C-alpha cells in the first residue's frame, strides 16, 4: 500500500476512535498536564524539555491551517477535521493542566491574583467538557480568541523562565508581546473585509489588548516564583540562615529595641537570578521598599531576609510585608501586629 494511502487510512482510523471514545482525549490531556507539572517539580533536568514541548505544540497550533493546506496540496494527505479539532482541544487541556498547579501555588489568594487563577480554572473546566468547548466556546469567535490568547499567555509565563532563565519582568513582557503578535491573525479574522478601516482596527485592538495586559500585571501571579517559608522574627541565625521565634504580634517597645526581620524562602527555577523587594506597609501605607537579589535552584528555596530598624514612633497597628517582583507582581505577604 502506498504511503499516501496508509496515512489516509491511519488518519481515518484515528478519527473513528476519537469519535467513538471522545472522553479519552479529555482524560489524556488532564493526566499528561498534571504529570508534566510533577516531572518539572521532581526532575529539574526535564523542565526545559517539557516546557519546550509545550511551546512546540502551540507553534503547531498557530500554524495548523497552513500545515493542513500544505500537506493536502503537496502530498495529497487530507487530515480529517475531527482529528484536528480534538488535537487542538488536547493542546488546550495539556497546557492548562500543566500551568494551573504553578499558578495555584503562586497565587496570593487574598488579592486580585485570585481572579486570574480562577479564570484559568474555569478555562480548564471548559476545555474538559465537550458540550461547553464545542457548542458554547468554539462558535463564539471573540470568546474563543480570548480563551486561546489567555492560555498561550499563561504557558509563556511558565515556560520562558524555565527554558531561558528570564527574570519575571522579562518573562512577562516577552509573553505579552508574543501572545499579542500570535493573536494578530485571529484578530484579522474578526473583520470580514480587508480595507483601510480593518488595517487600522487590527493593530489598534492589539495595542489595547497589550496595554491592558501590562496595566493588569499586578493581578497576575509570578508563575515560577513562590514562598516555601516565611517568618517575622526579632533574630536571625546567620550560620544556618534560619529565623528565630516567629511572631504574629509584638509590642511597640520590642519593635524599637532591635528592629524586626522579615524572612522569606523563595522557590525559583534553576539558573534564574531575580531581584525582588520587601515592601513594608503600615496600616495600608508604604513606609519602606528594600531590594533583595535571589538565585533559583535550591530545593528549600532561596533564603533571604531584610532587617528593618527605622520604625515610626507611633508604630501601633497592622503591618504587612509584601514580597514583590520588579514588575510589580506579588509573590506573597507576611502580616504582624504591633500593640501598645
> How distant, in Å, are the alpha carbons of 19, 28, 125, 208 from that of 22?
6, 11, 16, 38
pLDDT in tens, 83-135: 667 777 777 887 888 888 889 889 999 888 999 999 999 998 898 887 888 88
**Low-confidence residues in the chain, pLDDT < 50:** 1, 3, 7, 42-44
Q: How far apart are CA 319 and CA 252, in angstroms?
A: 12
Nearest to 118 by CA among 254, 230, 219: 219
Q: What is residue 42's predicted lDDT score, i.e. its pLDDT?
A: 47
Cell 515560577 belongs to residue:
224
Q: What is residue 335's predicted lDDT score, i.e. its pLDDT?
A: 93
Q: How far apart are CA 219 and CA 120, in angstroms?
A: 13
Which homologous superfamily is 226-339 in? Macroglobulin (MG2) domain (2.60.40.1930)
Q: How far apart are CA 315 and CA 17, in angstroms?
A: 68
Q: Where do the structural domains in the chain lie, given as residue ranges?
A: 3-219, 226-339
DSSP letters, 309-320, are: ----S---EEEE
Q: How far apart are CA 103 and CA 105, in angstroms?
A: 5
pLDDT in tens, 50-80: 666 666 666 666 665 666 666 666 656 566 6
The pTM of the full predicted model, rounded to 2 decimals, is 0.79
> Nearest 5 degrees, angle CA 35-CA 42-CA 52?
60
Q: What is residue 262's predicted lDDT score, i.e. its pLDDT?
A: 94
> 293: which strand partners?
275
Q: What is residue 31's predicted lDDT score, i.e. its pLDDT?
A: 65
Q: What is residue 287's predicted lDDT score, i.e. its pLDDT?
A: 92
Nearest to 264 by CA among 220, 290, 232: 232
Amino acid at each position: 500500500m502506498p504511503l499516501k494511502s496508509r496515512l489516509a487510512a491511519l488518519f481515518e482510523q484515528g478519527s473513528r476512535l476519537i469519535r467513538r471514545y471522545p472522553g479519552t482525549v479529555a482524560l489524556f490531556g488532564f493526566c499528561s498536564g498534571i504529570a508534566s507539572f510533577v516531572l518539572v517539580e521532581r526532575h529539574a533536568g526535564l523542565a526545559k524539555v517539557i516546557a519546550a514541548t509545550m511551546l512546540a505544540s502551540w507553534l503547531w497550533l498557530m500554524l495548523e491551517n497552513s500545515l493542513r493546506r500544505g500537506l493536502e496540496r503537496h502530498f495529497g494527505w487530507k487530515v480529517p477535521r475531527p482529528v484536528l479539532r480534538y488535537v487542538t482541544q488536547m493542546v488546550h487541556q495539556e497546557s492548562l493542566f500543566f500551568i494551573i498547579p504553578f499558578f495555584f501555588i503562586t497565587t496570593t489568594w487574598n488579592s486580585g491574583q485570585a481572579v486570574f487563577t480562577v479564570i484559568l480554572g474555569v478555562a480548564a473546566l471548559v476545555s474538559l467538557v465537550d458540550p461547553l468547548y464545542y457548542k458554547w466556546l468554539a462558535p463564539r469567535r471573540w470568546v474563543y480568541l480570548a480563551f486561546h490568547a489567555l492560555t498561550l499567555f499563561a504557558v509563556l509565563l511558565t515556560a520562558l523562565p524555565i527554558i531561558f532563565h528570564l527574570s519575571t519582568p522579562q518573562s512577562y513582557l516577552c509573553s505579552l508581546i508574543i501572545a499579542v503578535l500570535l493573536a494578530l491573525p485571529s484578530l484579522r479574522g474578526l473583520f470580514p473585509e480587508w480595507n483601510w478601516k480593518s488595517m487600522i482596527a487590527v493593530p489598534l485592538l492589539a495595542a489595547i489588548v497589550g496595554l491592558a495586559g501590562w496595566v493588569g500585571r499586578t493581578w497576575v501571579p509570578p508563575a515560577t516564583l513562590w514562598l516555601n517559608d516565611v517568618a517575622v522574627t526579632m533574630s536571625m541565625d546567620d550560620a544556618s540562615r534560619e529565623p528565630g521565634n516567629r511572631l504574629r504580634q509584638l509590642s511597640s517597645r520590642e519593635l524599637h529595641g532591635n528592629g524586626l526581620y522579615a524572612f522569606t524562602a523563595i522557590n525559583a527555577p534553576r539558573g534564574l537570578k531575580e531581584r525582588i523587594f520587601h515592601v513594608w506597609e503600615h496600616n495600608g501605607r508604604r513606609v519602606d521598599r528594600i531590594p533583595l537579589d535571589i538565585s533559583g535552584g535550591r530545593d528549600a528555596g532561596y533564603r533571604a531576609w531584610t532587617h528593618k530598624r527605622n520604625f515610626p514612633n507611633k508604630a501601633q497597628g497592622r503591618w504587612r510585608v509584601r514580597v514583590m517582583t520588579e514588575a510589580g507582581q506579588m509573590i506573597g505577604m507576611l502580616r504582624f501586629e504591633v500593640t501598645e
